[in-house]
Amino acid sequence: MRIALVALSLAACSGGSKTPTKEDGGKVPTPDDAALVLPAPPPLPRVPDGLPKPQLPDTVTPEAVALGELLFWDPRLSIDNKTSCATCHDPARGFAGAKRQNTATGKPNLRRAPTLIGLAWHKDLGWDGRYGSLAEHLPAHVLGQMGADLTYVVTRIAQVPGYRAHFQRVSDATSDAAIHALGAFVLTRYSGDAPWDRVERSPDAPKDLVAGYQLFQTKAQCSVCHTPPLYTDHKYHRLGLITSPDEGRGRVDEAQKGAFKTPTLRDAAKRDGFFHDASALTLDAAIDWHLTGATGQGADPKIIDPAIKKLALTPVERKQLGDFVRALTDPRANASAKPTLP
Ligand code: HEC
Ligand code: HEC
C-alpha cells in the first residue's frame, strides 16, 4: 500500500519518474505527498437567474468550497465527534434544523437552526443578527454549538493526509483556511430555480399559482417582509412568539426586543420545523399563525408588527396562498449527499 501511494504521488508530481533526482534535492516523497495531488475542484455554484448578484469576498474560491463541503459534514469538528454542521443544518431539509437540537455539549438549544440558503445576501448573522461577519461568527458558533475550539480541531484535522493538501491550497494559516472554506461553502448555497421562478414571467403560468402570488403581494401582505426575489427583507419583526424566554433582536437593540430575522421562504417546504423556537410544526401552521394575527401565545397585539393582520381568506384563497409558498421550493437545489471524508 505504501509503495503504491508513493508511486501514485510521483507519477502525478514528477511526470512518472520514480527516482529522486538532484533537482528535487534527493528528497524521497512520503506517502502523505499523495494527498497533494487533488483533482481540480468543480467551478463555483452558479447564481440562479433572477437573483441579484451577491457580493462575495474573494476568499470564495472553488478550492475553498471543496474544502468547506468536507468540513461541513465532518463530525471531527465537534467535542463529541458526532455532531457536524450538517447535523443541525441538514441539506435534505433546506440546510435548516427541524427542532431545537441539543448542542454537542448536551445543552438544549434556545433556537432552531435557520436555513443557510441565500446567506450571501445577509448583512448580519443569527436570528438576532448579533454577528457582523462569518469570521466573527464561526469560532463562537463552533464553540457554542459543537463544544470545540475551532483552531484546535482544525489543526488536528489538517494533519489527516487527505485534508492537508486541501488546507494548503486554501490558505497558509490553517484556521483561516477553515473559516474561509466553511464560509465559501455556506455563502454559495443558492436556491432560485423553483417551480414559480420558471413560470413567473410566462403567459402560461397556472392561474391558481398567479392568484396565490397576487394574494401574497397584496391582500395578505406577505411580501412586505418576505420580499421577492429573495423572499426576505433581512430585517427584524415581532410575531408574538413570546413563550420562549428569548429577547431576540433585543440583544443588539433594546427597542427591538422580541423581534427575529425574517427567514427566506425559498426552500421552506423542505423544513420540518418553523419559527426561531420551532413552535410551528408544519409550513401551513406557520402561514396560519400570520393569518390569525399572531396572538396565539397571548402576546399583547400592540407589540406585534403592524404588517401582521388577522385575515380571513376563503378556503380557495388559502389553498392558493399555500401552494404559492410551496412553489418557492426547488426540490433539486443543493441536493448534495455526504461526501467521502478524508
Ligand atoms: C447543534 C446545532 C448546530 C450545529 C452543529 C451548527 N449550527 Fe449553525 N446554527 C444553529 C442555530 C441554533 C443557529 C441560530 C443561532 C442564533 O440565532 O443565535 C445557527 C446559525 C447559523 C448561521 C447563521 C445563519 C443566519 O441566518 O444568520 C450560520 C452561518 C451557521 N449557523 C453555520 C454553521 C456552520 C458552518 C456549522 C458547522 C461549523 C454550524 N452552523 C453548526 C445550530 C447549529
Ligand atoms: C411583518 C413582517 C412579516 C410579514 C408581513 C409576514 N411574515 Fe412570515 N415571518 C416573518 C418573521 C420575522 C418570521 C420569523 C419569526 C420568528 O421565527 O420569530 C416569519 C416566518 C415565516 C415562516 C416560517 C419560516 C421559517 O423557516 O421559520 C413562514 C412559512 C412565513 N413566515 C410565511 C409568511 C406568509 C405566507 C405571510 C403572508 C400571509 C407572511 N409570512 C407575512 C415576518 C413576516
Query: How far is the centre of ligand 2, averaged over its atoms, from the C-alpha of 190 (Å)?
Result: 20
115 with 263: CB under 8 angstroms? yes
Q: Calculate how far, in angstroms, residue 141's C-alpha sits from the geometric centre of ligand 1.
A: 7
Per residue in 285-321, pLDDT tens?
999 999 999 988 888 899 999 999 999 999 999 999 9
Each residue's pLDDT tens digit, 229-257: 999 999 999 999 998 899 999 999 999 99
Cβ–Cβ under 8 Å, residues 97 and 89: yes
- Cβ neighbours of residue 182 under 8 Å, at least 6 residues apart? 68, 71, 72, 85, 134, 138
pLDDT level of residue 37 (50, 70, 90 thresholds): confident
How far is residue 300's CA from residue 178's CA, in Å, rounded to a whole number? 45
Q: Which atom of ligand 2 is nearest to the CA of 248?
A: 18
Ligand whose nearest atom lies closest to the CA of 102: 1
Q: What is the pLDDT of residue 32?
A: 53
Atom of ligand 2 nearest to the CA of 222: 37
Q: 269 C-alpha to center of ligand 2: Å?
A: 13
Distance 33 CA to ligand 1 centre (A): 34
326 lines ligand 2 (CB under 6 A): no
262 lines ligand 2 (CB under 6 A): yes
**Which residue's CA lies nearest to atom 40 of ligand 2?**
222
pLDDT band for position 36 (50/70/90)? low
Residues 6+ apart with CB under 8 A from 74: 84, 157, 341
Task: Copy the grid coordinates of residue 157.
Answer: 484535522
Q: How far is the CA of 102 from the centre of ligand 1 (A)?
A: 12
Residue 191 has pLDDT above 70, yes or no: yes
Tell me the mean pLDDT in the region 161-184.
92
Rounded Cα distance, 318 and 288, in Å = 9
Cβ(209)–Cβ(275) below 8 Å: no
Contact 27, 35 (CB under 8 A): no
